Structure 1
Amino acid sequence: MLGDRLKRLRLEKKLTQEELGKKINVTKVSISGYENGNRTPDTETLQKLADFFNVTTDYLLGRTDDPNPPGNDNEELGTLARINQLIKEYGIEQMGFFDIEKWKHLTEDEIREIIQHFEWVAHKAAQKNKSPGKDTE
């Protein structure tokens, strides 16, 4: 069951075994082994796969046919999971995005551009969160 589901999820994202392996720090041979049933991922790797594909480990293991956690209606957690997924998909954690040393060399124009982007995102979020008829201070 794990192999079939893993392969289907990987193909849905149009990833090769090697690309998926790089994203979760295992080899192509390991991914191939998981998919063909010759290997079983350890608990940590299984969790990485579930996080990457935004499904439960129970879904990957075939214990449920529902890929989404039951009762996970918490929009905030869903948003954080989506952001985490995007960080992984775009390889931001591997680019040293949060490495202060890499930010030291930005030009003033680059910093202004980042600030403008953050302000735009915050503005859009504030607009979305405003309720009709609510007083704004």
Structure 2
Amino acid sequence: MSILGSRLKKLREKHNLTQERAGEIFGLTKYQIHRYESGISNPDPDIINKFADYYGVSADYLLGRTDSPNPPEKDDIPEELNTLAKINQLIKEYGIEQMGFFDIEKWKSLSEEEIEEIIKHFEWVVHKAKEKNKAAREGTED
């Protein structure tokens, strides 16, 4: 078994996923997951990045280039990227990928009303963030 395969299996099991469920999440078959975990074949870089993002580890960790699952914190990471990482974590926690969040075909089946509801929700979230940021700026100008 390869380092990559061993780590993929360990992470999948840590997240209580079957090979079949992992395949569904990553758009692969159970057989492909098995082949990656057993070291019979290697995923392409895009799939490795999907694994890393989903499991919250670095691609370097998956590939055996480091034994640290997470890269050290960097002070120069823009706040926007930290926010995106938090959103990505929420997507995983709430199982949005199970609803086809990234599946364009499933988005096409939404009604106009459902799309409007999503747009309104996003607009509300952005509005609340702007209010919070404005209040924070005003609080520092005192």
For the criterion TM > 0.5, the same-fold answer is: yes
The number of residues matched between the two structures is 132
Seq. identity, %: 40
1:94 pairs with 2:140: no
Picking from 60, 81, 89, the partner of 2:85 is 81
2:25 corresponds to: 23
Across the aligned residues of Structure 1 and Structure 2, the Cα RMSD in angstroms comes to 3.4
The question of whether the paired residues in 2 share the 8 Å contact of 1:56 and 1:69 is answered with yes
Matched residues in 1 for 2:121 and 2:80: separation?
A: 24
**TM-score between both structures, scaled by the size of structure 1:** 0.70
The question of whether the paired residues in 2 share the 8 Å contact of 1:87 and 1:93 is answered with no
Compared CA separation, residues 82 and 96, structure 1 to 2 (3 A):
farther
**TM-score between both structures, scaled by the size of structure 2:** 0.68
CA displacement at 1:70 relative to structure 2: 3.7
Compared CA separation, residues 132 and 103, structure 1 to 2 (3 A):
same
1:68 corresponds to: 70
The residue identity in structure 1 corresponding to 2:31 is V
Residue ranges of structure 1 left out of the alignment (5+ in a row) = none
Residue ranges of structure 2 left out of the alignment (5+ in a row) = none
Partner-residue secondary structure (3-state), 1:93: coil
Compared CA separation, residues 125 and 37, structure 1 to 2 (3 A):
farther
CA displacement at 1:116 relative to structure 2: 6.3
